[in-house]
Amino acid sequence: MQITKENKITFIPDGGVTSPKGFKAGGIHCGIKRKRLDLGFIVSAVPAAAAAVYTTNLFQAAPLLVTQESIKKEHKVQALIVNSGNANACTGEQGLKDAYDMQALFAEKLGIPAAYVAVASTGVIGVPLEMDKIKYGIEQINLPEYEAVRRFEQAILTTDTSVKHACVQLEIDRQTVTIGGAAKGSGMIHPNMATMLGFITTDAKINHDELLFALREVTNQTFNMITVDGDTSTNDMVLVMANGEADNLTLTKDHPEWSVFIDGLRMVSESLAKQIARDGEGATKLVEVQVIGAIDDNTARVVSKSIIGSSLVKTAVYGADPNWGRIVCAIGYSGGQINPNSLTVKLGPIVVVENGLPVPFNEGEAKAYLEQEHVHIFVDLKEGSGSATAWGCDLTYDYVKINASYRT
């Protein structure tokens, strides 16, 4: 366990979406994929306050439209059904009907209103969903052996090489509150959502409006600060369910421990975001870009995203080439308000630029640093107090191989 000093938030290493009270999850193989698990589910014992953020891509997939409609109408969700292997995106009226049918089938299985079921899909775009397989899968979900959180984490994956989960516990109103999460994402990852799905559960008591406010704030600092390849997909969503089973007093922005909840939600989201960035298709390294000294936080975000999104920076990191010129170039075209004559750039502990000018450094030491699995790029703009951190990965030959044959 890892306990933060400020709010005594405890990381639960093996925790996930079933760690909060009242949640079950699992996954099965229904046949959309040849062998691997491809249909996952989360169920809350009671209707949960729900909030979600969605892709900015104008071609939003049918499941997102169905889920948005339900949350907007009810502000509550009691269950989630998600398939991988097929995105059900760009599938027209039939795709929308299929998403509604997924929702209705799972709701009937659980004996709850259809509007209390969120729907998600991920996989190949433009291919009709095989609803006979979905229906078969949903019929099997009552089997006890399929209720396992790791099966859920596996069932939502596409090109991911590993499952992604995070969990923290904290104390609010002298009650233990748990926040757990799972995510998938490996390619088509870019700030402002990407081909990623994130699902977060908590037993905290909080209403829809406050939960949405918290999610948006945290997403801007975490999920919207990662990039793998600059592509934003059609199916991306982060969904939070809060069922109130911890029995704390209802959280609002005026609650004295509101910041504790925000910190816990941020820690889970940041952990998931970094796991997605590290698992970028073909990636060998996690790259973290920290920008300080910006005129404001927004400028820091713009600059950090520009650096982490640069293909030239990413390939230099892959090749362990301390070519700081690529970093400076990305800063320069970011659009952020900067003074080129005042910035400092460091590769880990190694200063390579000071006051906008190159500093002599040991190339061998810099190359050795860039060969590490976790690479930290530090930028000080020396213009103000704004700061931000972005995460990404290196760009490798394997990324091209994976995406050149994605459908085959």
Q: What is the pLDDT of residues 296-323, one digit of tens each?
A: 999 999 999 999 989 899 999 999 999 9
Question: Over pLDDT 90: what percentage of the chain?
Answer: 77
- Which residue carries 């509007």 as its tokens? 115
CB 150 within 8 A of CB 180: no
User: Using CB atoms within 10 A of its CB, is residue 35 exposed (0-12), middle (13-18) or buried (19+)?
Assistant: exposed
Cα distance from N-terminal residue to C-terminal residue, the chain: 42
Among 65, 114, 72, 67, smallest CA distance to 90 is for 65
pLDDT at 188: 42
- Measured between alpha carbons, how far is residue 333 from residues 141, 259, 293, 309, 329 in Å? 51, 35, 18, 12, 6
In the chain the domains, ranked by start, together with CATH numbers, are: 2-274 (3.60.70.12), 286-404 (3.10.20.340)
Question: In which band, very low, low, confident or very high, does the pLDDT at 407 lie, cut at 50, 70 and 90?
Answer: low
Average pLDDT score over residue span 58-66: 90
pLDDT at 98: 97
Name the average pLDDT for the chain. 90
Three-state DSSP at 370 gives helix
Question: In which band, very low, low, confident or very high, does the pLDDT at 396 lie, cut at 50, 70 and 90?
Answer: confident
Question: Which of 5-19, 171-185, 203-217, 264-278 is predicted least confidently?
Answer: 5-19
Average pLDDT score over residue span 229-254: 86
CB 54 within 8 A of CB 105: no
Among 129, 154, 126, smallest CA distance to 41 is for 154
Three-state DSSP at 250 gives coil
Annotated catalytic residue within 10, 91, 122, 195: 195
Average pLDDT score over residue span 32-45: 96
Three-state DSSP at 99 gives helix
| Catalytic residue status for 56 | no
Question: Over pLDDT 70: what percentage of the chain?
Answer: 92
pLDDT at 147: 83
Average pLDDT score over residue span 260-275: 95
Question: Which of 108-117, 135-144, 210-219, 315-324 is predicted least confidently?
Answer: 135-144
Is the pLDDT at 144 greater than 90? The verdict is no
Q: What is the pLDDT of residues 80-132, one digit of tens each?
A: 999 999 999 999 999 999 999 999 999 999 999 999 999 999 988 899 999 99
